[in-house]
């Protein structure tokens, strides 16, 4: 059991979401940085999609009511266990009564607290993620608040998870597969979408200009500030299904990137769609930061996804081996 001592708003229980229900209007939800969540879960011996706490407002503090192996992945937020600094992307053992504190992130926007066993909240429609819009799932369909208590599931890996196992931050480990820029803006790969060409010359400017993530951004979507892009003539669309990553342009001309709590349907013209393999990087982008979109191909999107899958497989295999070895020696 863990008990929340202090939290800002907007921190929720998340897993990999509940895809499959968009056709009845239910948002998939799930972690904004699913890669960070998966790595964290694998480190503590969980299935990649076990439920964890997504922390996006800081400071955040919780107390352990029993011994637990846990890890903090995603944003580097200077985690401390009873004032002792903790390595991120590393497993740690907490004893009953110890307090974990996360401070303002040095890099990234969202941290994932993964616990051996995973959070034991009631699954709703196949997922433990919080659906804020529908007010169900996770911790009663709402944000975490101080004094909330969350139970943990029994460990399932068959071997006792150990402290001290760490991985390299995937932003470094996968650097060969992640584009960088000279000006510090985040480079996100996307494919042109259905109405791209209706934007005329503005379509090209969408790709060349640097956009800023506006303060009106949240888990539902990121609004981008910059010189507006507009279709050459107004576009009337019939409502259609959308997925996270779709970049829609409302009449204001400032694009919206749908994120994990994406609406299930939309009707604004679509200029592009972010590749799945870059959504986690966008999920770690902060309000006010700069982003530029580059064209990708299906082939490239597939290659990045393969590299990420290989990395995760490697973490799982290695972590399992090291854990078994440590348990044998113990």
Partner 1 sequence: MNASFAMLTSSPEVLQSTRGGARVSAIGARAFLLEALGEFDLASQRRIWALSRAVEAWDDISEIVPGMTNLLVIFKEIPEDPEPPVTRILEAWDGARSIDLNGKTIEIEVCYGGEHATDLPALCDRSGLSDREVIRIHHEATYRVFALGSAPGFGYLHGLDPRIYMPRKTVPSINMARGCVTIGGMQTGVAVLTGPNGWNSIGFAELRMFDPSSATPAIMAPGDTVRFVPVRVEL
Which chain residues interact with partner 1 by CB under 8 A?
Answer: 19-27, 124-125, 131, 133-134, 136-137, 190-194, 196-197, 238-243, 245-246, 263-265, 270, 273-276, 295-299, 301-302, 305
Residues 77/113, Cβ–Cβ less than 8 Å: no
Residue 190 CB, shortest distance to partner 1, in Å, is 8
SS3 content of the chain, % helix, strand, coil (to 5): 20, 30, 50
**Which of 29/91 has CB closer to partner 1?**
29
Phi, psi of 127 (to 5 degrees): -150, 150
State the Cα–Cα distance between residues 301 and 297, nearest whole angstrom. 6
State the Cα–Cα distance between residues 18 and 131, nearest whole angstrom. 9
Residue 113 CB, shortest distance to partner 1, in Å, is 25
The token duo for 186 is 């985040």
**Which of 208/239 has CB closer to partner 1?**
239
Residue 262 CB, shortest distance to partner 1, in Å, is 11
DSSP 111-155: EEEEETT-B----BTTB---BTTTTBSTTTTS---TT-EE-BPPP
State the Cα–Cα distance between residues 262 and 258, nearest whole angstrom. 5
**Which of 21/112 has CB closer to partner 1?**
21
**Which of 153/191 has CB closer to partner 1?**
191
Residue 297 CB, shortest distance to partner 1, in Å, is 8
**Which of 118/273 has CB closer to partner 1?**
273
Instruction: Give the number of residues written for the chain.
Output: 330
Residue 213 CB, shortest distance to partner 1, in Å, is 19
**Which of 59/250 has CB closer to partner 1?**
250
Residue 280 CB, shortest distance to partner 1, in Å, is 14
Q: What is the 3-state secondary structure (H, E, C) of 49-108?
A: CCCEEEECCCCEEEEECCCEEEEEEEEECCCEECCEECCCCEEEEECCCCEEEECCCCEE
Q: Give the closest residue to 293 by CA, choosing from 275, 280, 269.
A: 275
Residue 43 CB, shortest distance to partner 1, in Å, is 26
**Which of 133/324 has CB closer to partner 1?**
133
């Amino acid at each position: 059991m863990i008990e929340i001592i202090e939290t800002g708003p907007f921190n929720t229980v998340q897993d990999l979401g509940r895809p499959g229900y968009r056709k009845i209007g239910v948002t998939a939800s799930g972690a904004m940085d699913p890669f960070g969540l998966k790595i964290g879960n694998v480190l503590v011996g969980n299935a990649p999609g076990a439920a964890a706490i997504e922390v996006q407002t800081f400071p955040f503090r919780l107390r352990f009511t029993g011994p637990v192996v846990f890890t903090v992945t995603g944003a580097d937020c200077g985690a401390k266990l009873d004032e002792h600094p903790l390595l991120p992307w590393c497993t740690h053992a907490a004893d009953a009564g110890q307090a974990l504190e996360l401070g303002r992130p040095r890099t990234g926007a969202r941290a994932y607290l993964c616990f051996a066993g995973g959070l034991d909240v009631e699954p709703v429609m196949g997922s433990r993620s919080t659906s804020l819009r529908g007010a169900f799932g996770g911790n009663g369909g709402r944000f975490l608040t101080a004094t909330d208590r969350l139970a943990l599931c029994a460990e399932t890996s068959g071997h006792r998870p150990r402290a001290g196992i760490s991985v390299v931050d995937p932003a470094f480990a996968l650097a060969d597969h992640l584009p960088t820029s000279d000006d510090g803006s985040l480079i996100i790969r996307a494919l042109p979408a259905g109405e791209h060409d209706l934007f005329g010359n503005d379509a090209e400017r969408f790709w060349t200009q640097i956009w800023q993530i506006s303060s009106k951004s949240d888990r539902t979507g990121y609004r981008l500030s910059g010189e507006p892009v507009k279709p050459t003539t107004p576009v009337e669309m019939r409502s259609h299904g959308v997925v996270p990553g779709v970049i829609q342009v409302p009449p204001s001309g400032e694009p919206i990137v749908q994120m994990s709590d994406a609406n299930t349907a939309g009707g604004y013209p679509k200029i592009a769609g972010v590749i799945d393999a870059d959504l986690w990087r966008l999920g770690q982008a902060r309000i006010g930061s700069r982003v530029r979109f580059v064209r990708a191909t299906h082939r490239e999107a597939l290659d990045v996804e393969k590299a990420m899958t290989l990395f995760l497989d490697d973490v799982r295999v290695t972590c399992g081996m090291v854990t078994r070895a440590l348990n044998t020696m113990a």
